[in-house]
Structures are given as structure tokens and as C-alpha cells.
Structure 1
Amino acid sequence: MNLVTLLPFIVLIGAMFLMTRSAKKKQAQAAEMRNQMQPGTGVRTIGGMYATVKEVGDETVLLEVAPGVHAVYAKNAIGAVLEDAEYNRIVHGDDDTDTVVPDDASSLTGDADAADGQEGAAKADLTKKDAAPAADSEVEKDGKADGETEAK
């Protein structure tokens, strides 16, 4: 066999080796990160939920997702273990800057009354205005239902 013929296969095998090596390295880093979890640590799940670790088991972790609300998650569902400062900045809004982010869009509309959620909010009209006439009214007009033909 010619070396030129084998060259594409050698390159393909080399690329596959490098990709699997990179993936194994990432998996090892993720496992190490999950092993660093201790009660009181702030975490982000792979679904994007922020919570505080309460207990760590072999395969599961007990998270406090809200004060007094606990949920059991698989360890591999933890996407990131956060530093205390970062967790507090994201979850509690503890930030060194004076930026205030409102909970609603009242700052975008300029409506000060919309801050409480009810007053000043636009109400949607859910009634049908352009509804098609009812089928029985069409029958009354010409005396025939759709699909009926006059027998002769």
C-alpha cells in the first residue's frame, strides 16, 4: 500500500484521539468541580436555576432553591459551583455598583403606577369581534346546509 493512501485514515484517527482526549479532560474537570461542593455553597444547575447546597450524597445533592424549599438533584445536574461573591451578586443582587434593575418593565414604559403590577397596566380585550357567523344562521338564510343539493 501507498503511504498517500493511508494518510487520510491516519489524520482521521489522530483527530478522533484529540477530540476524545479533550472530552475526557472536560469531564474530569466537571467531576472535580462537583466534588468541591459543600453545604452552603452556591450552585447553578444545568437548567439555569441558582440554589444553595444543603447536603451532598454519593450521587445526589440536596439543594435549597428558595427559603424552606428543598429539592434533590443528581450531582451531574450541577452546571457550576459558584464563588460566594458571584452567587450573592447574582441571587441577592449584592453588587458594588449602584445599578438598580427593576423586577418589571415599568422603567421601560415610564409608567410609575405599573410598578405595583395592577394599576396602569393595559388590559387585553379578549372578546371576539370578527368572528365568523354561526353555521346554523347560514342554514336559516337559504334553507339548506352546506353540502346539500336540491333534488330534482
Structure 2
Amino acid sequence: MDTSIEIKLIPNDKLISIIPLIKKLNPTIPETTLNIRLEEMIAQGYQCAGLYKENKLIGICGLWIMTKFYVGKHIEPDNVFILPEYRKQGLGKRLLQWVYDYGLFQDCIASELNCYVSNETGNTFWEQEGFEKIGYHYQKPLE
């Protein structure tokens, strides 16, 4: 195991550090909009785990902990991203294991997430992680 890798919860006052990685995931959204949304998300309980190599942020996994009638208290990974040069090294699995362990520590009984239908690589990854497709995620603009 690479001991130069560290996974830890990013403190709220340091969450702005994730914006460059979030921008890579959402290249069409202006950075100012991402910053505004991050502030709103933090106020709604958003957390983020950071994957660091020698103190450089190389990956992230946003986290939501919530309770819903059909599943109970659960942890939801959100916007999981690892810089391309660090992929295919098992770091995604390490990051997610940290998330699952954190969820257990927070008394979560499950993990669930959303993944775009068009993201075939992501869907394959999540299925290999043991996630099952149980429904559809719908969206309707309110404009």
C-alpha cells in the first residue's frame, strides 16, 4: 500500500480546494456558479473526502448523509473524481472503502448514489462495487 496516500475529510473552510476538480467534472458550469453552489451545499450538510498524495489533492468524493423512508440512514457518494494520471491504481476503491467506513461510523446502514445513464464507465464501476440499479433519477426544470 502506498503510504504517501492519505484520505481525510476536508474541513468546511478548506472545501474551496475541490473546485478545480469539480470544474473538470462540470466543464460547462462557470466557476463562480460552482462556488455559489458549494456554499449552499455546505449549509445543507455537504461534506467531502479528499484523496491526497504527498499533500496534493488528487481525488475527491462528496458525501451526503441522510435518512429516507425506503432505505433509512445512508451515505451518498457524490461527484467522485480522481485525476486521470492517478487512475487505475486502486485509489478509487480505497477512497470508497474510506467512505463506507465513515458511513458505518455515522451509523449509516447503506450507501446509494446517482450515476448518469450515459456514463457507461461509471455504471460499470459502481456495479463492480456492488451497487444495484433500483430506480431512475428524474429531473424537471422549474423555470
Taking structure 1 as the reference length, what is the TM-score of the superposition?
Answer: 0.22
Report which structure shows greater RCO (CA 8 Å, sep ≥6): 2
- Higher Rg of the two aligned structures: 1
- Provide the TM-score with structure 2 as the length reference: 0.23
Task: Give 1 or 2: higher strand fraction.
Answer: 2
